[in-house]
Amino acid sequence: RVVDKCEADEVTELIKALAEKHHVPRSNIAYDADGLGSYLRGYLRGAKPFNNGGSPLAVVRKSSKKYEIKINYKNLKSQCGYELARVIRQGECGIEDKNLDKNAVKQELEQLQSHALDTEGRVQLKPKKLIKRDIGRSPDHLDALIMRAYFNLLPKYRKAKATTA
């Protein structure tokens, strides 16, 4: 759901209401914990804070290949952006919200691009300030999709099997 600017308490209540309506546990909610979004930590206990500039996650993927290529990402946002690109390429994601402006989403997804390696040779995404310059607005849909990709990278926890004695 897209919402224009609103007060902090309105954001919190909207997130809680949508989560309840769609039966989404807090552990399946990510929020932008940088800047203004950092206040949500106290209001959305159990939700995952997403720090764009945070360290990339150590991810182990099962592969049929003998060797797995490790990519040196600049930050968590870059890692999640590359994961988003992977799931799009493989047709593993879609958007069901019919109220979204499809052209705006497409325009933002076209901005999901690699950028020059940083001074330490780390892979990074095109910076947000360049995206804003190129499309004339903030890429909010793209940011949300990148945060969604975070859940693809988190380790999967298996429930313990119940045993009887």
Q: What is the pLDDT along the chain (165 residues), one digit of tens a residue?
A: 677 777 778 888 989 999 999 999 999 999 888 877 777 887 888 899 999 999 999 876 655 566 666 789 999 999 999 999 999 999 998 888 888 889 999 999 999 999 988 889 899 999 999 999 999 999 999 999 999 999 999 876 444 444 444
Contact 55, 76 (CB under 8 A): yes
DSSP string, 102-139: HHHHHHHHTT--EE---TT--BEEPPHHHHHHHHSS--
Nearest to 57 by CA among 151, 130, 121: 151
The whole-number pLDDT of residue 69 equals: 63
Contact 108, 136 (CB under 8 A): no
The whole-number pLDDT of residue 119 equals: 87
Q: How many other C-beta atoms can be found within 10 angstroms of the C-beta atom of residue 74?
A: 19
**128 token code pair:** 């947000």
Which single residue is written with the structure tokens 């590359």? 82
The whole-number pLDDT of residue 58 equals: 84
Strand 114-115 to 124-125 pairing: antiparallel
The whole-number pLDDT of residue 88 equals: 94
3-state SS, residue 3: coil
Strand 30-32 to 48-50 pairing: parallel
CA-based Rg of the chain, rounded to a whole angstrom?
Answer: 18
The whole-number pLDDT of residue 158 equals: 43
